[in-house]
């Protein structure tokens, strides 16, 4: 049986903390924060050095040296092993993000602890809640562009008491987190006898240690079930005002489903995207669009803000990048919802065109759309990634690409291929069979159709030989697809 591995993040609030524990915890946060920025400062010259290296391989070997240097920096610190590696990994990732951004020509500043900037908190939230590497990297990149305010989370990469964290059950359903926070000789070290159930194995866990704290967790059925069905992998402790939260990343195995339907998606003109669901005979069982209303409204506001900003000479537009990221999250969620409902294979246009610089001239025949205006090449890559991740989490395979050439002017009913079929921007009316439909929907029907076509003929194609005419999409669909 094929399975997919997916991660979900569960949030637990830490409750009923004694004053002593809270004081020790706060001190740990401040210490980790200071060490992070101190270490970051000490690595600034290494970052500048990396900027001068053209060769990727050489840069990589520099980053190994950086990790070694960081190990030496944190070694004498009064921390637990977990927090030492948290500082090392955090600084390394931040330095590399700065280097990558600067080398790609973006406006990055070497992060130092300064006064607050508007969207730092937003990206901090994303970093804390992210459950995939890509989103974490994105958040780090954005944080490199802004200044710093909140205390950084403490991260725990291993599930064990010696240098990580564990989630334990005291036997009557109350959950506790053990966090490795300091060395055994630290002033804060107090003897602890753990005798609880390990939520990961369900077995009794007995251990004496003094290198951390056992913290009571507040949680509902949702979190308990998450821990029961998955495996806790990593954790982040977050401080928000006087409250503490533990974000636990849990790994799940999801059974792979065999798609029964094909969900074709086209980027729209009116809406951000349209879709159709077809079965393998071609029958359209559902169609619709993913809302562009909010998008257009926001776009207007953004354009207005940009004009105002230009007037007063401000360079950056607040909230734009936040918006597109949210948009991609929403869009991918909407797509996955439909795919999940029909157990469908998602098919999208091969967006080689969109992946180019938006300022580049359109290829002949390529269409203008909101989608393209909204998403840069980099952002589109992220959308694809989010989509893959979210599809996996419902047991569905990643989206497949088809070439979109001709999909907006081919009649999905009779196969007639003619520019004149596109009556207006919005209306498709076939010159031969009078089939009429919204132009965006026709695109989505054909994108799904092209995939059905490809699946049917792919084994019949001979390598190095041109595709026989009867296999070409518009000819093939005449005899093989019914709407």
Please, which residue, 324 or 474, has the CB nearer to Zn ion?
474
Nearer to Zn ion by Cβ, of 297 and 434: the residue is 434
Nearer to Zn ion, 94 or 416 (CB): 416
One character per residue 364-403, x = contact with Zn ion (rule: CB under 5 A): ----------------------------------------
CB nearer to Zn ion: pick between 192 and 414: 414
Interacting residue with Zn ion among 32, 96, 138, 411 (CB under 5 A): 411
Please pick, from the candidates 86, 180, 416, 453, the single residue that binds Zn ion as defined by CB under 5 A: 416
Among 99, 139, 213, 430, the residue binding Zn ion under the rule CB under 5 A is 430
> Which segment (10-18, 29-37, 347-355, 428-436) binds Zn ion by CB under 5 A?
428-436
Which residue reads 């590497």 in tokens? 133
In angstroms, how far is the first alpha carbon of the chain from the final one?
34
Instruction: Give me the least distance between CB of 415 and Zn ion, in Å please.
Output: 7
Report, in Å, the least distance between residue 248 CB and Zn ion: 55
Residue 195 vs residues 24, 119, 181, 214: alpha-carbon distances, Å: 23, 43, 19, 11
Residue 305, classed as helix, strand or coil, is helix
Record the tokens describing residue 266, joined without a space.
């086209």
Least distance to Zn ion, CB of residue 233, Å: 53
Q: Which long-range contacts (CB under 8 A, 24 or more apart) does 290-294 make?
A: 290/331, 290/334, 290/335, 291/334, 292/268, 292/370
Residue 445 Cβ vs Zn ion, minimum distance, rounded to whole Å = 12
CA distance 151 to 280: 53
Q: In this structure, what are the phi and psi dihedrals at residue 126, rounded to the nearest 5 degrees?
A: -60, -45
CB of 411 to Zn ion, least distance (A): 3
Q: Which of residues 202-221 bind Zn ion (CB under 5 A)?
A: none
Q: Which of 92, 287, 413, 450 binds Zn ion (CB under 5 A)?
A: 413
Single out the segment in contact with Zn ion by CB under 5 A; choices: 44-52, 206-214, 340-348, 429-437: 429-437
Element (H, E) at 212: strand 212-218
Q: What is the DSSP string of 74-120?
A: HTTSS--HHHHHHHHHHHHHHHHHHHHHHHTT---------S--TTH
Torsion angle of the four alpha carbons 31, 34, 37, 43, in this order, in degrees rounded to the nearest 10: -70
List binders of Zn ion among 250-309 (CB under 5 A): none
Which helix (H) or strand (E) element contains residue 309? Answer: helix 293-312
The residue among 111 and 412 lying less far from Zn ion, judged by its C-beta, is 412
Tokens of residue 207, six digits:
């251990």
Choose the binding region for Zn ion from 155-163, 175-183, 213-221, 433-441 (rule: CB under 5 A).
433-441
* Complex with Zn ion: residue 332 or 421, whichever CB lies closer: 421
Q: Is 88 in the site for Zn ion (CB under 5 A)?
A: no
User: Which H or E run contains 320?
Assistant: helix 320-342
Rounded-to-integer distance, Cα 83 and Cα 24, Å: 14
Nearest distance from residue 422's CB to Zn ion, in Å?
12
Stretch that binds Zn ion, among 103-111, 291-299, 367-375, 432-440 (CB under 5 A): 432-440
Shortest CA distance to 367 belongs to which of 446, 274, 266?
266
Q: How far is the CB of 303 from Zn ion (least distance, A)?
A: 39
Instruction: List the one residue from 414, 456, 457, 483 that touches Zn ion (CB under 5 A).
Output: 414
Positions in 434-453 near Zn ion (CB under 5 A)? 435
Residues binding Zn ion: number (CB under 5 A)? 8
Residue 456 CB, shortest distance to Zn ion, in Å, is 20
Q: For residue 443, count other CB atoms closer than 10 A to its CB.
A: 30
What proportions of the chain, in percent to the nearest 5, are helix, strand and coil? 45, 20, 35
The minimum distance between CB 402 and Zn ion, in angstroms, equals 20
User: Which residues lie near Zn ion (CB under 5 A)?
Assistant: 411, 413-414, 416, 430, 432-433, 435
């Amino acid at each position: 049986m094929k399975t997919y591995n997916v991660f979900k993040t569960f949030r637990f609030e830490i409750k009923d903390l004694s004053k002593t524990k809270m004081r020790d915890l706060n001190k740990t946060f401040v210490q980790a924060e200071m060490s992070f920025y101190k270490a970051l400062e000490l690595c600034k010259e290494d970052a500048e050095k990396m900027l001068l290296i053209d060769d990727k391989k050489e840069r990589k070997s520099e980053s190994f040296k950086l990790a070694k240097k960081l190990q030496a920096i944190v070694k004498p610190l009064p921390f637990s092993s977990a927090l030492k590696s948290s500082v090392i990994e955090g600084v390394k990732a931040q330095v590399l993000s700065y280097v990558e951004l600067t080398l790609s020509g973006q406006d990055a500043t070497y992060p130092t602890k300064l006064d607050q900037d508007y969207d730092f908190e937003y990206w901090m939230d994303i970093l804390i809640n992210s459950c995939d590497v890509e989103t974490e990297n994105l958040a780090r990149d954005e944080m490199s562009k802004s200044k710093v305010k909140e205390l950084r989370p403490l991260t725990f990469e291993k599930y064990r008491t010696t240098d990580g964290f564990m989630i334990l059950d005291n036997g009557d359903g109350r959950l506790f987190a053990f966090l490795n926070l300091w060395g055994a000789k630290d002033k804060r070290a107090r003897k602890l006898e753990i005798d609880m159930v390990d939520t990961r194995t369900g077995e009794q866990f007995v251990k004496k240690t003094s290198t951390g704290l056992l913290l009571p967790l507040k949680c509902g059925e949702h979190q308990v079930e998450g821990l029961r069905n998955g495996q806790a992998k990593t954790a982040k402790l977050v401080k928000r005002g006087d409250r503490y939260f533990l974000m636990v990343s849990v790994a799940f195995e999801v059974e792979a489903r065999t798609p029964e339907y094909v969900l074709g998606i086209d980027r729209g003109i009116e809406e951000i995207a349209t879709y159709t669901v077809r079965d393998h005979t071609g029958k359209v069982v559902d169609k619709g669009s993913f809302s562009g209303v909010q998008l257009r409204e926001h776009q207007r506001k953004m354009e207005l803000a940009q004009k105002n900003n230009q007037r007063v000479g401000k360079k950056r537009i607040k909230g734009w990048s936040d918006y597109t990221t949210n948009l991609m999250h929403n869009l991918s969620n909407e797509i996955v919802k439909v795919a999940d409902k029909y157990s469908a294979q998602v098919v999208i246009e091969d967006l080689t065109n969109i992946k180019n610089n938006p300022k580049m001239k359109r290829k002949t025949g390529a269409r203008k759309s909101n989608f393209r205006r909204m998403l840069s090449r980099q952002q589109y890559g992220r959308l694809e990634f989010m989509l893959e991740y979210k599809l996996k989490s419902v047991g569905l395979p990643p989206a497949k690409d088809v070439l979109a050439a001709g999909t907006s002017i081919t009649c999905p009913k009779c196969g007639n291929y003619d520019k004149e079929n596109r009556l207006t921007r919005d209306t498709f009316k076939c010159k031969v069979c009078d089939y009429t439909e919204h132009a965006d929907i026709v695109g989505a029907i054909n994108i799904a159709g092209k995939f059905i076509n490809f699946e049917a003929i792919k084994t019949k194609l001979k390598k190095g030989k041109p595709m026989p005419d009867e296999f070409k999409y518009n000819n093939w669909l005449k005899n093989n697809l019914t709407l």
